[in-house]
Structure formats: structure tokens, C-alpha cells
Structure 1
Amino acid sequence: MTTIGVILASTRPGRKGEAVARWVLDEAGQRDDATFELVDLADHHLPAIDEPFPPALGRYTLDHTRAWASTVARFDGYVFVTPEYNHAMPGSLKNALDRVYAEWNTKAAGLISYGVEGGIRAAEQLRLVLGALRVADVGPHVAFNIFTDFDAGSLNPADRHRDALTRVLDDVVAWSKALAPLRS
């Protein structure tokens, strides 16, 4: 069975991303073509990069890096739930991406973003980084505006968001399966 990690990028207290990730997992849970699992960056001890060797060498010396590599490696694809901070993805996500290399390669990813303008700039920046990691990001994208899509801290997805999420998940699952021979 194809396994997709739903990566919750924000580690900020009171983050809106928890509601977004729960919504993604609830919607994905109705599918039978893949399993979906939450990967909350707040649950992983990932200090600023502290490995003596570049990640591309795969010579991880620290337990927290080896644990993160194992987490990343066990998925066939990912759905990133990211906020936009100062026109970019959060540092917690960039650090998590930069810690390991081969474990990300030849997998698919979908993007769910949120922010003042839907987190669009964070998503576009994330696409650049994913390309460098040899992750195939799918075209469909879900973008939530923190002023119009949240009410008193609760996420209120419109039908268009559900439709967009279906397209994201369809593509992530299909691309994850299509890329599987490259990983074997």
C-alpha cells in the first residue's frame, strides 16, 4: 500500500496548521488507495543542522538525524502543510528538508499552504527546494487565507478547497506509485 506522510511544518504554539492537517487527514482517511500518516515537525528534535558531513553523502552521525532519515524514508510521498512566514516557508520546514537528502529522492509531494494571501509564496519557495531534493511536486495546490478561511481559529474549507485537495491527493498517490520503480 502506498504510504503518504502529511508533514505539519509549523512548530509555533497556537498554529493554524494543526486544523489544516487534521482536515487533510480526515479527507484522506476516506480514500482506499493509500494510507496517510501525520508527521508533526513539533514532535521531532531537529536542531539547526549539526551534522559534520553534507546530507547528500548520507553519513548521518547523530541519533536525531538518523531518526529523521528513517521517518522520511518510510513514505512513498508527502503532503506538506505549510504556513507562510515573511514571504517564505518556516525555518522548521527548511531545516527538516535540509537535514537528509536521498530519503526524499524520487517521491511525490503535494502542497497545502495558508497565510495572509494563502501562503502562495511559501508554496512556490517549497517547490524550488523540493526540486533540488528530487521530489516531484504535483501541480494542484490548496491555499487557505487566514482571514477568510478560518473563523475564530477554526478552519472552514469551502467546496473549492475540498475539490482542490482531491486533485492534490489523486496526483500525489498516482505519482508516488509511478515513481516507485525508481526507488527500487
Structure 2
Amino acid sequence: MNKPRIGVIIGSTRDTRLADKPAQWLIEQARTRQDMEFELVDLRDYDLPLFNEVASNLWVPSQDPNVIRWQEKLAEFDGYIVVTPEYNHSIPGVLKNALDQAYREWNHKPLAAMGYGGVGAARAIEHLRGIAVELMMVPLRNAVHLGGGEFFKISPLGQNGPMSEVDALLRPSLNAMLDELAWWADATKAARERTA
């Protein structure tokens, strides 16, 4: 069986987003592993309209070429890590829209998350887990939360330091999340292949 392929999705498209810094740190650390392959997927590269299809692609094939391109990209992966900020106690609207633009492509795959912000995007990640359940995904228990004083060490709102300033603190939670992701990615990949 080939190694599971994991899409690391940057869940913000704002011009002033911080997402690139934690996403780059995460993918650099993840790529040191031998049990999974990782690809960075930036929502900025997908000009997704607000959801306007007849129905979910579970029921009716999507028509918009940008949406179809997004679905095709998602189908390449055996699991996902979403890197997200927290907006008003939830995920960014652009991320929710991207989640809504597919259905079958998400099914029976694990979803992990890294959140950043004042409380480490804890509430956003909790909302993300509920959405994942409806998309027939496996939301992981372990996550990476970059919050509080550690967030301000690397944020332009604070000291704007490098991710190495918080690496030692985040590494244990990252390792726990990736270990859990590897287990679920293997299990769900094998099950999908058996029932294909």
C-alpha cells in the first residue's frame, strides 16, 4: 500500500493573514516523517465562488469549473490538516465555503487541525470537527493550538519572531496529532480500497 497523501490546507485568504508562517512550519516538520506524504494546498489558488450549485456533489455533479478543480485536488488526498485562524469563535467563511464545495471527496478520511490566535483557535477547531462529522470524515482529537503569549511571539501584532520561538512548545502536540493522523489515514485508506 502506498503511503497516505495528506493535504495541508491553508484556511485563510486574507492579504494580511498569518497562516503562511505556521503552515510552513507545520509542513516542514511533517515532511521529516516517513509514513505520510504532504502537500500544501492554499485556498488562494482556488477561485471558489460562494456555494451556488444545485445541491451537494453527493447528489448532483457540480458545474462550476473552479469547484470541479477543487474537488479533483481534494480527491488526491487520504487525509487533511487544516491550518486556521479563529474568526468570531469559528472558522473563516472562506474555509467553510471550501468545505461546502465538496462532499464525496472528504468522505471516510481523517481531518486534523492547527489553529492560531488568542486562544489557539480552540473554538474554530471545535466547529471544524462538527463540520467534519457531517462530511463523513474522522475528526481527530489531537490538534496544535498556537495561542496566548506564544501566538504573540510570532505574530506581527506582537514580536513577529520566527516559528523557532515556539517550536519546543508546539512539537509535542504536533507529534501527537501526526501520529494519530497516520493511524487513521492508514485505516481509512485500507477500508476505502477494500470497498472501492
Question: What TM-score do the two structures reach when normalised by structure 1?
Answer: 0.94
Q: What are the Cα deviations for residues 20-56 of structure 1, in whole angstroms up to 9, with x where unaligned? A: 1000111011111111000001111111012123332
Gaps of 5+ in 1: none
Corresponding letter in the other structure for 1:77: G
Matched-pair contact (CA < 8 Å) for 1:5–1:78: yes
The 3 A distance-change label for structure 1 pair 24 and 140 is same
Instruction: Name which of 171, 174, 177 aligns with 1:168.
Output: 177
Moved over 6 A (4+): none
Count of equivalent residues: 184
> 1:180: which partner in 2?
189
Q: Structure 1 residues 145 and 58 mapped into 2: Cα distance closer, same or farther (>3 Å)?
A: same
Taking structure 1 as reference, are residues 58 and 20 closer, same or farther at Cα in structure 2, changes over 3 Å only?
farther
Q: CA deviation at 1:97?
A: 0.3
Work out whether residues 55 and 98 of structure 1, in 8 Å CA contact, stay in contact via their aligned partners in 2: no
What are structure 2's unaligned runs of at least 5 residues? none
Alignment of 1:29-178 (within 5 A): 29-145=31-147, 147-149=149-151, 150=154, 151-152=159-160, 154-155=162-163, 156-178=165-187
Q: Secondary structure at the match of 2:142?
A: strand
TM-score scaled by length of structure 2? 0.89
- State the identity as a percent: 36
RMSD of aligned C-alpha atoms? 1.4
Q: Which has the larger radius of gyration?
A: 2
In proportion to residue count, which structure has more strand?
Answer: 1
